[in-house]
């Protein structure tokens, strides 16, 4: 049965004969069950709960009409969310934190819901609709690949800290170096290389603690787009602002994820229910600031060997800008389609303009400005 057929059935049954504008929840539920309509059970339960939260046990007829299309699909539309939130009506059940008898995995899903989503309706919807397949493979795969690359170079060079000061390390085809700008893959693959154990540990920890929950809620496409956009923006920003510096580490993508999540928490502060959110916010900002400070020190302090490279810190800042701008748009609604958001197209246009400018800069500006680029290793 399609949407028009269901609307016709509602009209034929005269669910609102007195034209009051409201329909009894029990009446509508009985119609659904008697005709075996293919409606999503979770949405039907939430609609009935919405009506029962009304003093008269009724749901607005116009809201019902708006919901018909959404209830025929497996995904919730924005009209469904607006109808539930309209009039500040609360669902009659307690929050997910009071859900008894959950297994370990469902407890983790509930934890993710409270960490990422600012609205109880969203949290409950995600909790009941979540499926373990497909798993959050992107952030886990990137982190594993970074660890493997680090271990391989550590074993080969017998050097586990400040690896960039080893000449052989910078000869890797993965590192971004201004002398190898024509090798375009390096603008992305540098994310698999790290200065040393400290940087790898910091990035891996944040990718697993923040990136995996974000991927579980928002999906692999959105989070991979956000992460890779931060990585690419990081190397391109360095190529524009710090034309002598190489780049290593996935900090551009990490800071895109972190800044997007932190900005989302701040924008929805009242609705977030993650424990100790203020303390955790302060700790996250302190850790991120200290990492940037360490990168600045490595950039401007004299290197250990006289010819040692000094990786730039601008990738961190570029990733944070990408996270706040693009990330807030991506994380605004975990089910709303990006192409339906006007802000998404504005951010996408701005990012595309930046990419074009960076490409022309790398092609022409180095020669026109006579930049003193250090010889590639």
pLDDT tens profile 334-357: 767 787 788 889 999 999 999 999
Give this prediction's pTM: 0.77
Q: What is the average pLDDT across 92-121?
A: 78
Q: What pLDDT, on the 0 to 100 scale, is given for residue 249? A: 87
pLDDT band at 142 (very low <50, low <70, confident <90, very high): very high
pLDDT digits (tens, 9 = 90+) for 201-244: 989 999 999 999 999 999 899 999 999 999 999 999 999 988 88
Domain span(s) for CATH 1.20.1540.10 in the chain:
138-369
Backbone dihedral angles phi then psi of residue 23, each to the nearest 5 degrees = -130, 135
Catalytic residue among 224, 259, 316, 333: 316
Buried (b) or exposed (e) across 149-163, using 16+ Cβ within 10 A? Answer: bbeebbeeeebeebb
> What CATH fold (topology level) applies to the domain 3-70+79-88?
Recoverin; domain 1 (1.10.238)
pLDDT band at 313 (very low <50, low <70, confident <90, very high): confident
More confident residue, 65 or 215: 215
Which residue is associated with the tokens 């810190």? 313
How much is the pLDDT for 88?
39
Domain(s) of CATH 1.10.238: residues in the chain: 3-70+79-88
- What size, in residues, is the chain? 377
Of 172, 251, 259, 333, the active-site residue reads 251
Q: Kindly tell me if the per-residue pLDDT of 191 is higher than 50.
A: yes
- Return the pLDDT at 354: 95
Q: In the chain, what percentage of residues exceed pLDDT 90?
A: 27
Place of tokens 């080969």: 156
pLDDT of amino acid 257: 93
Q: Check residue 90 and give its pLDDT.
A: 43
| Active site (annotated) includes residue 251 | yes
Asked if the model's pLDDT at residue 39 lies above 60, the reply is no
Find out if CATH 1.20.1540.10 is the number for domain 138-369: yes
Q: Mean pLDDT across the chain, nearest whole number?
A: 78
Neighbour count for residue 217 (Cβ, 10 Å): 22
* pLDDT greater at residue 191 or residue 290: 191
């Amino acid at each position: 049965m399609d949407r028009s057929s269901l609307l016709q059935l509602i009209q034929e049954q005269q669910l609102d004969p007195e034209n009051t504008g409201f329909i009894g929840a029990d009446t509508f539920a009985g119609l659904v069950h008697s005709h075996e309509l293919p409606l999503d059970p979770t949405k039907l339960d939430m609609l009935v709960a919405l009506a029962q939260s009304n003093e008269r046990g009724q749901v607005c007829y116009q809201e019902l009409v708006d919901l018909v299309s959404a209830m025929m699909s497996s995904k919730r539309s924005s009209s469904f969310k607006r109808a539930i939130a309209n009039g500040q009506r609360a669902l009659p059940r307690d929050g997910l934190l009071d859900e008894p008898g959950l297994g370990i995995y469902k407890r983790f899903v509930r934890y993710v819901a409270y960490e990422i989503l600012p609205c109880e309706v969203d949290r409950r919807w995600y909790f009941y609709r979540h499926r373990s397949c497909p798993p959050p493979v992107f952030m886990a795969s990137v982190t594993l690949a970074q660890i493997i690359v680090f271990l391989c170079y550590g074993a080969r060079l017998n050097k586990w800290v400040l690896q960039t000061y080893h000449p052989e390390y910078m000869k890797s085809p993965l590192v971004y170096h201004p002398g190898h700008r024509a090798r375009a893959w390096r603008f992305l693959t540098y994310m698999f290389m790290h200065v040393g154990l400290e940087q790898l540990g910091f990035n891996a920890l944040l990718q697993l603690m923040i990136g995996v929950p974000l991927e579980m809620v928002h999906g692999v496409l959105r989070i991979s787009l956000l992460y890779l956009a931060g990585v690419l923006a990081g190397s391109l920003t360095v190529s524009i602002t710090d034309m002598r510096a190489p780049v290593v580490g996935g900090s551009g993508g990490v800071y895109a994820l972190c800044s997007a999540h932190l900005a989302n928490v701040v924008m929805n502060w009242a609705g977030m229910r993650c424990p100790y959110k203020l303390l955790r916010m302060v700790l996250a900002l302190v850790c991120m600031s200290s990492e940037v400070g360490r990168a600045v020190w490595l950039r401007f302090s004299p290197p250990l060997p006289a010819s040692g490279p000094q990786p730039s810190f601008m990738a961190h800042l570029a990733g944070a800008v990408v996270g706040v701008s693009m990330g807030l748009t991506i994380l605004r609604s975990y089910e709303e389609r990006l192409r339906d958001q006007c802000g998404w197209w504005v951010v996408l246009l701005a990012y595309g303009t930046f990419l074009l400018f960076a490409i022309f800069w790398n092609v022409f500006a180095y020669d026109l400005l006579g930049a003193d680029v250090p010889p590639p290793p």
